[in-house]
Structure 1
Amino acid sequence: MAAEATQRGDHAQGHRVRDDGVRREHLPFHRLSEAGVLALARGDGGGDVVAELLNAERSRRLLLLRALDDELSRGAPPARRAEPVGERPVRYAEAWTLLTRAQHRSPEAFEDVLMSPNTGMWVSLAVRRARGRAYEEAPRWVVVGHLAALAAAAAARAGLDFSITVPVRGGLVPLPTLGCAVLPDGKAWSTARVTGHGGRLRISGSGGEVEVAPPWDVRVPGWHPRRLLTLGSGEGAKTLVLEDLDPYRTFPRPSEPRPLPEPEAELWRSLLAGAWDTVLRDDPESAEAMRRGLMSLTPTESRERFRPHSSTAGDAFGALTASRPDDVAQLAATLVHEFQHTKLGGLMHLEALTVPPPQPSSPEHLLYAPWRDDPRPLGGLLQGIYAFLGVTRFWRAHRQAATPADAPTAHFEFALWRTQVWSTLNAVRGHEQLTPLGRRVVESLHARCAEWMADEVPAAELRLAQEAAEDHLARWRAHHLRPPAAAVDEAVRAWRHGAARPPASLAAEPMLVPDTEARFLDGAAVLARHHLGDPDGTWRHTAAHDDGDAGGVDGAGPADVLLARGDSAGARAAYVDRLARKGAPVSAWAGLGRALADDPAHRAASWLLLRHPERARALQDALEAATGRRADPVDLAAWLASGGTAES
């Protein structure tokens, strides 16, 4: 297989593949067609483009397998240095030989195992582990020995007769693409013997044995089969693995198999069926791409309402993890969001969009991301732009098909993400770290988003979206930006001496000082969704509990809830009271700015707190340190904004 692993794969005109340091100069490069580049640069790309990306991904994995073999061939086999005491060792060479046999007997079976997203994740981590970097607690022989489990699965699918030793994780024996056996073994790490005859498997380990026959999808004692779902029907049908067994289904680190209870699996089947039908109707090109390239979804623990969590990894092409969604539309948007990451990750494996900054660890190279609490490097920001452009595209179409009850939320989501993507694209255009391809992608996405900026959105939902975007940016600035220290000291002296205006030096460009404690900066958007979905709901009384698990909204205080309920006067009083006391939350400055927005007498203070809340925060903290007292926050903001009179 080693020779074939480096020589197969088609190539066409366009962009060339990189292979993470294991390139063979005599090999042809993968090239993406010009039509594929054009489609991906616009945030689009159907099944044909995904097929090109998958073809390149296949070669990348074969090269990584070759790299792993090269690393392990330089010294003694790892299993001989760290064998499980008293058990058969996992022999890497034995696994490699069996995998080669399976490839020759049944290339289709080999391809199924090779192109599983989890295989991509494993081989990438295994190469890093072989080079001395650990990403999981499992011993090195368990990580490398996972190749034996892959080989056993491929051999079983190919109908080979074989016997091989595989790693066991806490009594669980995952066989990728087939299922997971359960043995009565309490050890954290041990081994089992997998024997195959005509596809029938016997898994034997400490104190137990499990037998399973093809097609391996029937649950028998000691065996959890892989869950393969069929979504939709006819030409719109899509197969998807509901993944709960493979240890390399999660990222950036593996996790042990967790078989889903059947009721939970049934709920996911229903949600995914509805989400797939929604994507088919509202974003058919994405559905076409996902039909070819989306392979598995791993459920993760539920999250607070309106704060779902999902992720992908460039090494696991075709996989995503997702927390249980609030509804079908949210899950449909998640599928689109994460597959956008998958497409861009595939493109970035072929050619870079950015070059490293001169000083990679310097905060000055981090940027504002409207969908994150923390500052992000340019590469990560491009991933977010690309994903949320897809989300914007989805909500743009979905709002036309939504029910009257759901339409307000759909309009809000479209308006919010359109605003956030547009502002971020404008911020990164022409960035010095963009490569020629990166500039092309940014310009194409900018042109695409520009097409949507004139789309009409109902006034109420548009206003809420604009306020949520404004609030997030203000909270981010309050947490992560700092005015020059000398300017703050000068402002303290000016304030205490009753100067008419703050010093001009305070308007200098602030420094980025990442605040690792920043959390839940999207509170205004979450509260807006509660309001749109259920204006008179219980959230009006429970959201301020500040605990998502108890029905509240994490990070939201009583003043935030009053503001979301439309009580600006009550919110203002609550913010002022909180900010006048020690230990006030940083984000309260942004909330006060919004609460003052409709008051003509305080528009200047509102403007200052929404555009430059970091100045108010820094000056208030400095005044407290110098005098032991905190100034009235509205007076302080007004002084900073327009040079109003201040008391010493």
Structure 2
Amino acid sequence: MSAEPSLPHHRLPPESLAELVRGEGGPATLTSLLGAERSRRLLLLRMLDDATDLGPAWDLLSQAQQRAPALVDDLLMYPQTGMWLASALHRLRGTASEAEPPPWVVLGHFSALAAAAALRAELDFGIEVPVRHGRVPLPTLGCAVLPTTEPWTTATVRAEAGRAVVEASGAGVVIPLPFGSAGAGWHPVRRLTVGPAGRRLEIALDDVDPYRTYPQPTEPRPLSEEAAAHWGQLLERAWAVLLREQTGTAEAMRRSVFSLTPTAARERFRPRSVTAGEAFGGIEASEPDDAIELAVTLVHEFQHTKLGGLLHLTPLLTDSSDGGTELWYAPWRDDPRPLEGLLQGVYAFVGITRFWRAHRTAAAAQTAMAQFEFALWRTHVAAAMEQIHRHPRFTPLGTALLDTLRDHCAQWLAEPVPEEQLALARLCTDDHVARWRAHHLRPAAPAVDAAVRAWLGGASGPPAALAAEPEVVPDPSARWLDSLAMLVRYRLGDTDDDRPSPDWPEKAAARVTGALTGDALLAAGDATAARHAYLADLAVEPDRAGAWAGLGRALAAADTEPTAAHLLCHHPERARAVHRSLRQATDTPPDPIRLATWLGSPPA
């Protein structure tokens, strides 16, 4: 009896694998990843068809595929198609959240996909599709708005002799031709084309597909013409930066970034961007401050895209024996992260570090900012990788990837950075980890109790047990741990007319959510005033983690109370925990600096 033939597998060429291990990836590598993603989408679609009856929509999609296979392939590879497939399969398994639409609306989205494919293939047809709060999104094409008050209902998409319409309850919306045109009741998916001939980026600015936001779908929110034009201008300038400074990355993006989902602007220097492994080639991003921020966002999320594609082909980590409960410090997050999440962040921020490394030599007007960002992120990335180096869960490929990225980062750490920006980066990296420790690390309760007894008993120092490794206990109140870095960015980004003045710290702290006045004083270089400000905060709110960490940094910068400074810089969680217990045990809380000095003394 002969063996059954094995199914073909996607395998990356050695040179492509080597590129991805370095955190890079050229056009050929991305073409290989796209081929694998296409096969994966087809398998998911077949799984969905096996699990439910897709009915007329399947037949219509098949007709469109026979007429225009390339156009249907584009629709299949659209990021939002992948996101919908994952959502539909999760829904069939009963793992959706209560906030999602009814199951028939989720599964009915396939009819909208089939309608879009048939329209693009110029077929005559009619098919029923879901209506979501009066809107009928047709993937890659646009969204019709119908006069209905029902949250979930149906409409019919019809096409005949080159005319297409969406109809429901006696009302209809004509889909204008050519696709991309606006019309009464119709919002098209805009296509942005930026860059010179031969190096153009063509991308959908998708504000209507419900599966354009990750990981949860949201209803269509069409942009105004002015807002869409603004995004186009920002993308044009960001793309020019990438073409000049990240040529290989830009060339790969041209072949594998398909959609950009715009969301509302956020606080300055705090953009939000998201990708999803199921939405290969899609990026969701808040409106950036400027073109440089958008360029960084594109690089950041493209790194996630590449790593997600690699992980669909081969694992970098083995399964966790503890159920994935082990948590780590991620310098770009407020919360502790599992190993999988930390690895994603490392890969993304290696790309960001590489961007700033190049940009600092190309940016004439913002050299100081670029030098600071390069110094900051190389240190953050190095610290993150050092925690997990040689972790037993890494596969051989995962180990090779982390080792290679560590080697690159070691070389970057050796590159010179002007002293002022280097010192500011060190200040911010040290401050972030101290704030994280103050929030998320918990010394053992018996050791804290012993320290309270020793303090009240007049011992010369704390018990040795307090120096034991603390437990990671996620603190949901931990927010805006990057406040000091935000304030430094304000300081470096201000114009000459706005450079630090006597009232700058107060004004700057008011602009940065989560920032204390002491943080702004520290960013301005006034360590003595920062110390007084932090002590004042602790007098009012003695459990404020950021004030404990900031006080340590202020004492270190002022070069006073070295024992207290060292304790608060490296183990603020001890001072916070013991101070809290002392407040509960006595009516008079101890002086924070005196307590920190005692805690930093040799064990009694």
Give the TM-score range, shorter chain: over 0.9
Aligned position for 2:132: 169
- 1:536 to 2:500 alignment: yes
Task: State the Cα distance separating 1:599 from its structure 2 match.
Answer: 3.5
The separation in 2 between residues aligned to 1:67 and 1:476, in whole angstroms, is: 43
1:47-102: CA deviations, max 9, x gaps?
111100000000101000111111115xxxxxxxxxxxxxxxxxx31111111111
**2:24/2:249 contact within 8 Å kept:** yes
Map of 1:145-164 to 2, 5 A cutoff?
145-164=108-127
Aligned position for 1:255: 218
**2:543/2:576 contact within 8 Å kept:** no
Task: State the Cα distance separating 1:583 from its structure 2 match.
Answer: 4.5
1:344-393: CA deviations, max 9, x gaps?
0000011111123222253xx11000000000011110100000000000
Task: State the Cα distance separating 1:27 from its structure 2 match.
Answer: 2.3
Task: State the Cα distance separating 1:186 from its structure 2 match.
Answer: 1.6
The separation in 2 between residues aligned to 1:392 and 1:103, in whole angstroms, is: 43
Aligned position for 2:141: 178
Aligned position for 2:38: 58
1:261-311: CA deviations, max 9, x gaps?
111111111101000100111111110111111111111121111111101
Task: State the Cα distance separating 1:605 from its structure 2 match.
Answer: 1.2
Aligned position for 1:268: 231
Q: TM-score normalised to the size of structure 2?
A: 0.96
Residue 562 (structure 2) aligned to one of 603, 614, 618: 603
Aligned position for 1:35: 15
Task: State the Cα distance separating 1:426 from its structure 2 match.
Answer: 1.5
**1:580/1:633 contact within 8 Å kept:** no
The separation in 2 between residues aligned to 1:644 and 1:142, in whole angstroms, is: 65
| SS in structure 1 of the partner of residue 397 of structure 2 | helix
Aligned position for 1:10: none
Aligned position for 2:24: 44
| SS in structure 1 of the partner of residue 416 of structure 2 | coil
**1:487/1:505 contact within 8 Å kept:** yes
| SS in structure 2 of the partner of residue 514 of structure 1 | coil
The separation in 2 between residues aligned to 1:176 and 1:252, in whole angstroms, is: 17
Task: State the Cα distance separating 1:26 from its structure 2 match.
Answer: 4.7
- 1:121 to 2:83 alignment: yes
1:434-458: CA deviations, max 9, x gaps?
1122111111111221221111111
Aligned position for 1:242: 205
| SS in structure 2 of the partner of residue 61 of structure 1 | helix
Task: State the Cα distance separating 1:206 from its structure 2 match.
Answer: 2.2
Aligned position for 2:152: 189
Residue 529 (structure 2) aligned to one of 570, 573, 577: 570
Unpaired runs of at least 5, structure 2 = none
Task: State the Cα distance separating 1:215 from its structure 2 match.
Answer: 2.0
The separation in 2 between residues aligned to 1:65 and 1:570, in whole angstroms, is: 62
Task: State the Cα distance separating 1:643 from its structure 2 match.
Answer: 4.5
Map of 1:448-463 to 2, 5 A cutoff?
448-463=408-423
The separation in 1 between residues aligned to 2:379 and 2:536, in whole angstroms, is: 32
Aligned position for 1:367: 328
The separation in 2 between residues aligned to 1:440 and 1:150, in whole angstroms, is: 41
| SS in structure 2 of the partner of residue 202 of structure 1 | strand
Q: 1:430 to 1:450 in 2, by over 3 A?
A: same
Task: State the Cα distance separating 1:324 from its structure 2 match.
Answer: 1.1
Aligned position for 1:78: none
Aligned residue identity for 2:18: L
The separation in 2 between residues aligned to 1:127 and 1:25, in whole angstroms, is: 29
Aligned position for 1:380: 341
**More deviation, 450-459/56-65:** 450-459
| SS in structure 2 of the partner of residue 298 of structure 1 | strand
| SS in structure 2 of the partner of residue 174 of structure 1 | strand
Unpaired runs of at least 5, structure 1 = 1-23, 74-91, 546-551
Aligned position for 1:201: 164
Residue 424 (structure 1) aligned to one of 375, 380, 384: 384
The separation in 2 between residues aligned to 1:242 and 1:600, in whole angstroms, is: 52
- 1:628 to 2:576 alignment: no
The separation in 2 between residues aligned to 1:451 and 1:444, in whole angstroms, is: 11
**2:506/2:517 contact within 8 Å kept:** no
Map of 1:9-408 to 2, 5 A cutoff?
26-73=6-53, 92-135=54-97, 136-360=99-323, 362=325, 365-403=326-364, 405-408=365-368
The separation in 2 between residues aligned to 1:399 and 1:567, in whole angstroms, is: 27
Residue 468 (structure 2) aligned to one of 508, 513, 518: 508
The separation in 2 between residues aligned to 1:283 and 1:140, in whole angstroms, is: 44
The separation in 2 between residues aligned to 1:516 and 1:228, in whole angstroms, is: 40
The separation in 1 between residues aligned to 2:226 and 2:388, in whole angstroms, is: 46
CA RMSD of aligned residues (A): 1.6
The separation in 2 between residues aligned to 1:281 and 1:395, in whole angstroms, is: 13
Aligned residue identity for 2:570: R
Task: State the Cα distance separating 1:593 from its structure 2 match.
Answer: 0.6
Q: TM-score normalised to the size of structure 1?
A: 0.90
**1:183/1:206 contact within 8 Å kept:** no
The separation in 2 between residues aligned to 1:593 and 1:223, in whole angstroms, is: 58
The separation in 2 between residues aligned to 1:484 and 1:415, in whole angstroms, is: 35
Residue 585 (structure 1) aligned to one of 519, 537, 544: 544
The separation in 2 between residues aligned to 1:25 and 1:206, in whole angstroms, is: 54
Task: State the Cα distance separating 1:582 from its structure 2 match.
Answer: 4.5
Q: 1:581 to 1:258 in 2, by over 3 A?
A: closer
Identity among equivalent positions (%) equals 54
1:429-480: CA deviations, max 9, x gaps?
1001111221111111112212211111111101001110000000000000
**1:483/1:510 contact within 8 Å kept:** yes
The separation in 2 between residues aligned to 1:369 and 1:619, in whole angstroms, is: 26
**1:229/1:269 contact within 8 Å kept:** yes
**2:543/2:580 contact within 8 Å kept:** no
The separation in 2 between residues aligned to 1:383 and 1:589, in whole angstroms, is: 30
**1:199/1:213 contact within 8 Å kept:** no
**1:638/1:644 contact within 8 Å kept:** no
| SS in structure 1 of the partner of residue 561 of structure 2 | helix
| SS in structure 1 of the partner of residue 382 of structure 2 | helix
1:567-598: CA deviations, max 9, x gaps?
21111112122223444411111100111013
The separation in 2 between residues aligned to 1:190 and 1:539, in whole angstroms, is: 55
| SS in structure 2 of the partner of residue 254 of structure 1 | coil
